[in-house]
Amino acid sequence: MADSRLVQGRYRLLDLIGRGGMGEVWRARDESLGRQVAVKCLKPLGPHHDQTFTRVLRERFRREARTAAGLSHRGVTVVHDFGEHDGVLYLVMELLDGRNLSQLMEDNKHHPLPVGDVVDIAEQVSAALAYTHQRGIVHRDLKPANIMRLTDGTAKLCDFGIARLGQDTGLTSRLTGTGIAMGTPHYMSPEQIGGTEVDQRSDLYSLGCVLYEIATGAPPFDLDDAWAILVGHRDTRPAPPRSHRPELPGWFEKVVLDLLAKRPEQRPYDAGELGRRITSGRTAPTYVPTVVTAQPRLRPPEPAAHEPRLPSWTRSMTTGHKATGAALRSTPPDPGAGLTCEWTARPATAVVEPLPVVPAPSPQALAALAGRHHDGLSLGRLGCWGEAGEVHRAVAAERARLLGPDHPDTLASRYEIAFTLSRTGRAAEALREYTEVAAARERALGADHPDTLAARQETAYVLGQLGRHFDAHQVYTAVLAARQRLTGPDHPDTLRCRHNLAFNLSRLGRLEDSYRMAHDVAAARARVLGPQHPDTLVTRYEVAYALGQLGRWEEALQAYREVAEARARALGADHPDALAARYEVGISLGRLGRSADALTLYRALIDDRTRVQGPAHPETLRARHGLGVNLGRLGRWEEALAESRDVCAIRERVLGADHLDTLVSRREVAVGLGWLGRWPDALAEYRRVATARERVLGSDHPDTLASRNDEAHCLEQLGRGAEAVELYRRVAVLRQQRASGGRL
């Protein structure tokens, strides 16, 4: 990039002004407009990254860059342009005349900044965050190096739009398996460390760390060991800032300590509220305290003799650069951080040593496979399950060749193959894969190893997808017994298994048992994780579902509304989980005969889904399906039929003709045709649905049997009674066989 000097024939690179883990920043001249700009060139992906992942990442970069370019606030760095040049992604930003807070601390010989400057920076940054958070954008990597202080005193946030991109490129701290924690350890929120969902309050925690540092001269947990820093964020109350610097105002100390609350709900709700408190503190002696809901009493920290329960990815973390500029003590600088020379990827470490019975593969080959494995995980997190499956298949085949078919790394890839299959409606294939992985892990690791139990639990999940709920029940019960014996009743993995078992009980018709178990799990998760934790809300969602199945729709409606409101507060109104709960509110309204209210809700939900996820997203289509159902309930069958046909056509194009959601829409088309008296057309659609479900789910699956009953009903309406009776008999025999084989 630097050798060409001219990017896209327009931006001439002049001077290198910054370098970091994600790339370089150059002062450049925009030859078209004759102005000075900054060009941030992102570190290109190495050859170990999968091409499918790279393609998706480029599209993700374009989307994030467009988001950043749409921000317009004096406290946010302006993005003028973006693109790709010679394989390097770049952003063109306004050129800022000033120093970031990390540099200012270094200039000040690591002493704290003047109190007036600290308060002014806090007020300006809170205003910028309020603006970005209102647009649904969370920075996720707020630190002194990402806050610029211009020569005129303006504070500006940098790197919006590429903060989330760091998740997908692997250029920031990474979680294995289920999620990603971004950020530098000194400024990470407890929920980032735990790998759970983050919202705007995570940014507020990071801002609290920044303000603490520039006000006192050191971050709240100023330790050289990354593990100790993370444990500090999670378990330790920071020392009050005035214990380091008594001249700090009392109201400012309370603001910072509120920002550093361990639980998100104990912090200021949003940056707007924070800004109001700062303004109030500057102009009045009184302080407006944080209003928090009552929380269950937290368990005391475990004795020091016990190892802190932090995610496995934290074990190899280094502390990163503090704002004070202290050099890393654990690892040397990344030699591949620059664009001016060849890019050199830091070798990854193999997760597991090669088995002695096979020739040891090269570290480079293992590093490449580890990188591609993480590419597949990132694609899954982006919802690109088909592409993720392609990557995992290729990696699994190569790992089997190099390490052997039963090596833990090979089995980890095959586990991810099964996961992608289950998420793309290919439950039967997923079941085969999970079954083989579970058996292999049991041979290699033992029946009670966490990886073996994880594979068995996913086996139960796909058995449920296939309608084999009795078999799923048996597996869940066995796994639960092992988890309770090994890790105790309140361990998150145990609670997750109990949650899944509760869900499966409802599918077995044991509705009261399902409700009681879900209710107990929700209470346990609230006690262990907190009432607003995403996992707690998932189980409260399941409680609402069980209430609906019991016909207690008024209670279900109230429960769904509470979950929707809690998720909107904790995760944001546009978060997929918040939108999902709103959808279930619509279902409940429809069941209560309040279809007019349901139509209003669904129309608003469709607008929000379309804005956030796009018109062809499966969840947008699910909301449109609900709209069509309620149009029918109101007797507006022509409109209902038109909506169902449109949704069915889009689902067939996007998801495939045999996808279960497509078949649900096709059945709704048949329902509409029947209500309009077009029974021959309805029969053709019902048969098409039944045949597809039989092919995908099996002849005795409950959904297949329901479709055959629909077909028989059509035959009755057409006066073909003998055929209808024969079909009803066949369905009854299959139901009886299924019941006798799976009776509890």
Residues annotated as part of the active site: 141
Rg of the chain over all Cα atoms, to the nearest angstrom: 28
* Three-state SS at 81: strand
Closest CA to 165 of 23, 340, 349, 345: 23
* Nearest-angstrom CA–CA distance, 36 and 283: 39
- Show the CA angle centred on residue 498, arms to residues 494 and 502, nearest 5°: 170
- Sheet order of strands, 147-150 included: 98-100, 147-150, 155-157
* 729: Cβ contacts below 8 Å, ≥ 6 apart: none
* Nearest-angstrom CA–CA distance, 658 and 666: 10
Instruction: Identify whether the C-beta of residue 113 lies closer than 8 Å to the C-beta of residue 119.
Output: no
* 488: Cβ contacts below 8 Å, ≥ 6 apart: 494
- Show the CA angle centred on residue 125, arms to residues 120 and 131, nearest 5°: 135
The per-type count for the chain, helices as H runs and strands as E runs, is 28, 9
- Show the CA angle centred on residue 421, arms to residues 416 and 427, nearest 5°: 125
Going 321 to 324 to 325 to 326, the CA torsion angle's sign is: negative
Alpha helices, H only, 489-636: 492-507, 511-529, 534-549, 553-571, 576-591, 595-613, 618-633
Q: Which residue matches tokens 């350890």?
A: 185
CB burial of residue 707 (10 Å; 0-12, 13-18, 19+): buried
Instruction: Identify whether the C-beta of residue 571 lies closer than 8 Å to the C-beta of residue 577.
Output: yes
CA atoms within 13 A on the CB side of 216: 24
CA atoms within 13 A on the CB side of 657: 7
Does 40 carry a binding-site annotation?
Answer: yes
* Nearest-angstrom CA–CA distance, 320 and 463: 44
* Three-state SS at 72: coil
**Which pairs with CB-CB distance under 8 Å and at least 24 residues apart come from 638-644?**
638/676, 640/668, 640/672, 641/669, 641/672, 641/673, 641/676, 644/668, 644/669, 644/671, 644/672
* Nearest-angstrom CA–CA distance, 378 and 658: 27
Strand ranges, E, within 75-119: 79-85, 88-94, 98-100
* Binding region for ATP: 40
